Every structure is written in structure tokens, then in C-alpha cells.
Amino acid sequence: MPIAENEVKWVTVPKAGLLEQLYLPAIFQGLQTTVRHATKTLFGGGAVTQQFPEVEPKLPPNYRGVHRLNRDEQGRVKCVACYMCSTACPAHCIDIVAAPSPWPDREKYPETFVIDELRCIYCGMCEQACPVDAIELTTLYDLSGFSREALMFDKEKLLSVFDETVKAGTDPIRTRSGRLSVASELPADTGLTSSSSAQS
């Protein structure tokens, strides 16, 4: 979105005076600010640093960390292997192999589901693309491993992330779609109105 023209405030560059042309007062003013901050941090404890390993950071709930695969009420993987996440993924880090599902209530499920956490850019587009709210990004941020392979998270690992985060209570399921899925849903407030576009 470009800035609307009426929001732009136009100012003219002020003419410098003789004193300002020396630049020295401005330099001293700047120095003053630097010194003020330095002394305040040094003596007044104004540092914003978080002592990370000792103090856990407080992250907003929409923080985009490690992925998880959600489970449904029966504990099965919610994912239906539709490839929407891997299609939306700008980093091409999601690899899915689909298969006919072993359960009667759905047709397709992921036989394998691998996310390359090293390749991922944590943009959250997979979460937006998911039509069944199966993939979510959690607030887990301290991800590390000893090999590249260790950070290729497979289905079991991603499900265990779900188990862990749900048990810890840090990441409630945050996306939820309606009865018919998003595409066919009428916005709740408009109610059932007949088509008017054809007559217009």
C-alpha cells in the first residue's frame, strides 16, 4: 500500500544559521544523546538486553517458530496431504508423499511429511494455506541439531512437537475454519442473501 497523498506532510528544509553551519552544536547535541544513553545504561540499569539462557523471552502468541502437525480428536494426524503448504512454501522446504488413508472418514493422508527446518524461512505461509488447520507454527524458537539430517523434521517429529507444545500449554490451536471449509462459507453477518450480481 503506498502512502496516500493526503497523509504525506510536506516540510521545507529549514535554512541553517551561522551557528548551525559550524555543525559543532549539532555534534555536541548528538554527543549529549549518546552520553545520556551510555550513562543511563551504565548507572541506571536501562539496558534492554534479555539474559537469554537464564531468562526465557516472552514471545507473542503469533510468533513463527518450529512447525507442528496437529492431531484431530482421535489423535490421528489432521493433515490430508493436499500439498497446499508445499505449494505455498516459497522456500520449497516441505516434502509430502501422499497415500490413500487407512481411515474411512477421509481419502488421503500423508505417508511421509518432511519439513527441512534449515531451509524454512518461517514465513508462516504454510499455516495460511492449510485448508484443514493441520500445520501451525509454534513459539518454539531454540532449534538446534548436530546434523542437517537431524533438522529434517518428519511426520512423527512434527506430531511430537504438537504433543509437547499442547502439553506445555504454550501454543493453543490458533487457526480454525468452519463447517464447510473456507471457500463455501458465507460471511456470518451477511446472512443468506440471494444472488444479486446476475441481475445487476
Partner 1 sequence: MELGFSFWITLLFIAIMMGVLQGTCAYLILAERKISAWAQDRLGPNRVGPWGLLQPIADGIKFLLKEDIIPNHVDKLFYLLAPCITVGTALLAFAVVPFGPTTPPPVLVDYRQNPPQTAWPQTIEEEKAILDADHKHAEQTNDKTYEEKLKEYNDTIQFVIAPHVDIGIVFNFAIGSLAVYGVLLGGWSSNDKYSMLGGLRSSAQLISYEIPMGLSVLGVLAVTGSLNLETIIDYQVKHGWNVLYQPLAALLFITSVFAECNRLPFDLPEAEQELVGGYHTEYSAMKFALFFLGEYTHMITTSFLVAIMFFGGWQLLPGIAMPDGVGGAILKLIVFAIKMALFIIFFMLIRWTLPRFRFDQLMGLSWKVLLPLALVNVVCVIVIKQLHLSDWLLLPLSIATLFIVAGFALYMPQQRPRAPVRVAGHVASGLPAVLHDEAVID
Partner 2 sequence: MATVYVNGKPVDIGNEKLNLIQAAQKAGVLIPHYCWHPALTVVASCRMCLVEVGERKPDGSITMQPKVVPACQTPAKDGTVIVTNSNKAKFAQEQTLEDLLLNHPLDCPVCDKAGECLLQDYTFNFGRAQSRMIDEKNTPPNKPYIGNNVTLFTDRCIMCSRCVRFTREISGTAELQIINRGHHSEIDIFPGEPLNNKLATNVVDLCPVGALCSKDFLYKQRVWNLKTRESVCADCSTGCSIWLDGNKSIVYRLRPRYNPQAQGHFMCDDGRLGYHYVNSIERFLQPMVRRDGKLTPLPWTEILPTIRQAFQSVAQKDAAGVVGVLSPFLTCEEAYLIAKFLKKLSGQVRLALGPVPILGADDTYPKDRRGRPIQPVKFTIRAEKCPNRRGVEEILRYFQGEIISFEQVVHDAAEGRVQAMYLAAGYPPRPGGWISETQAQMLQHIPLIVCHDLLPSPVSNFAHYVLPGASWAEKEGTFVNHAGLAQAIHWGVVPTGQIRTDGQVFLDLLERRGLLHAPTLRKELAAEVPYFAALARGDLGEYGIPLNDERSA
Residues in touch with partner 2 (CB under 8 A): 80-84, 87, 98-100, 106-108, 131-132, 180-181, 183-186, 192, 194-195, 197-199
d(C-alpha 37, C-alpha 182), whole Å: 51
| Shortest distance in whole angstroms from residue 111 CB to partner 2 | 9
118-142 as b/e: b if 16+ CB within 10 A: eebebebbbbebbebbbbbbbbbee
CA atoms lying within 13 Å on the CB side of residue 156: 1
Under the binding rule (CB under 8 A), the answer on residue 150 touching partner 1 is: no
Tell me which of partner 1, partner 2, none is bound by residue 13, counting a contact when its beta carbon lies within the kind-specific cut-off of 5 to 8 angstroms. Answer: partner 1
d(C-alpha 139, C-alpha 171), whole Å: 7
Restricting to residues 16-55, name those near partner 1 by CB under 8 A: 16, 18, 21-22, 24, 27, 30-31, 33-35, 37-42, 46-49
CB atoms near residue 116 (< 10 Å): 16
Tell me which of partner 2, partner 1, none is bound by residue 199, counting a contact when its beta carbon lies within the kind-specific cut-off of 5 to 8 angstroms. Answer: partner 2
Closest by CA to 81, choosing from 58, 63, 102, is 102
Positions touching partner 1 (CB under 8 A) are 2-6, 8, 10, 13, 16, 18, 21-22, 24, 27, 30-31, 33-35, 37-42, 46-49
